[in-house]
């Protein structure tokens, strides 16, 4: 299994045995980002059982879409950030990709997939439009659109944590809408859905 990398830049890390914490030469102490896992039921269940943050899954799954991987950030304790990728036929593109990230503030996993240099959205978020919403764990959740040119990036708050939704290509932003319902795979009543999820090959974008 490859070593964990920096959650922000994907660079190599100094291990806790040598530094006292996982540390990146550029970004200092960070949460280690573990290798992306194929979307097998066992991998999804293992990540869900050891996560301190929601493991968001669309349910019901949008027509023609499949889960294409899962990735966690965190040390030996519960995960502090989890990303789930999905692929499907786009409305304007042949194929679109969606990455859902739940994380604690300060981790930087969502920002890294969004192509941002910061770890969290800044105070300027309050000045941006709330472009859309979805439902997360049964609650309507407002999402703000961030100005990123090569992908569509939305961020909001769900279950007291950051929820990032990142879409490629940028023209497929419309896959995020009011009828998108997310459930937390950590909840026992949602575990049964894992065996029913359509799956695809591991996403190179998630693994990158």
What does the pLDDT look like over 16-54, one tens digit per residue? 887 778 999 999 999 999 999 999 999 999 999 999 999
User: Which pLDDT value is given to residue 127?
Assistant: 73
pLDDT of residue 115: 94
Look at residue 26 and tell me if it is in a domain.
no
Structure-token pair, residue 168: 């490629």
Domain region containing 90: 31-207
Q: Is the pLDDT of residue 57 over 90?
A: yes
Residue 108 included in any domain: yes
Q: Residue 145, preceding bond cis, omega within 30 degrees? A: no
* Statement: residue 131 has pLDDT above 90: no
- Tokens of residue 140, six digits: 């309507």
23 within a domain of the structure (yes/no): no
Is 19 inside any structural domain?
Answer: no
155-198 pLDDT, tens digit per residue, is 999 999 999 999 999 999 989 998 999 999 999 999 989 999 99
Q: Which strand (E) or helix (H) includes residue 110?
A: helix 109-114
Q: How far is CA 120 from CA 109, 162, 191, in A?
A: 9, 8, 30
Q: How many domains would you assign to the chain?
A: 1
Residues in the chain: 208
Residue 125 pLDDT: 74
- Give the mean pLDDT of 56-77: 95
Task: Dump the DSSP string for 11-66.
Answer: ---B-HHHHSS-EETTTEE-PEEPPPB---HHHHHHHHHTBSS--EEESSPPTTEE
Residue-wise DSSP of 146-208: E--SSSEEEEEEETTEEEEEEEESGGGGGGS-TT-EEEETTSHHHHGGGGG--B-SPPHHHH-
Q: Is residue 4 part of a domain?
A: no
> In this structure, is residue 139 part of a structural domain?
yes
* Tens digits of residue pLDDT in 94-105: 899 999 999 999
Q: What is the pLDDT of residues 118-129, one digit of tens each?
A: 999 877 677 777
CB 163 within 8 A of CB 157: yes
* Domain-located, residue 21: no
């Amino acid at each position: 299994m490859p070593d964990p990398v920096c959650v922000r830049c994907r660079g190599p890390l100094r291990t806790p045995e040598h530094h006292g914490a996982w540390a990146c030469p550029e970004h200092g102490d960070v949460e280690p980002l573990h290798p992306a896992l194929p979307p097998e039921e066992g991998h999804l269940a293992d990540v869900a059982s050891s996560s301190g943050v929601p493991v968001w899954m669309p349910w019901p799954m949008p027509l023609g879409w499949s889960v294409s991987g899962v990735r966690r950030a965190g040390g030996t304790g519960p995960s502090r950030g989890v990303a789930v990728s999905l692929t499907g036929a786009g409305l304007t593109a042949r194929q679109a990709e969606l990455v859902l990230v739940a994380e604690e503030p300060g981790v930087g996993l969502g920002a890294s997939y969004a192509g941002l240099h910061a770890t969290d959205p800044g105070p300027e978020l309050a000045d941006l439009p709330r472009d859309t919403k979805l439902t997360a764990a049964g609650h309507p959740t407002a999402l703000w659109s961030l100005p990123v040119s090569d992908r569509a990036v939305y961020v909001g708050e769900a279950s007291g944590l950051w929820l990032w939704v990142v879409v490629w290509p940028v023209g497929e932003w419309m896959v995020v809408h009011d009828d998108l319902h997310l459930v937390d795979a950590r909840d026992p009543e949602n575990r049964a859905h894992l065996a029913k999820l359509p799956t695809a090959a591991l996403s190179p974008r998630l693994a990158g």
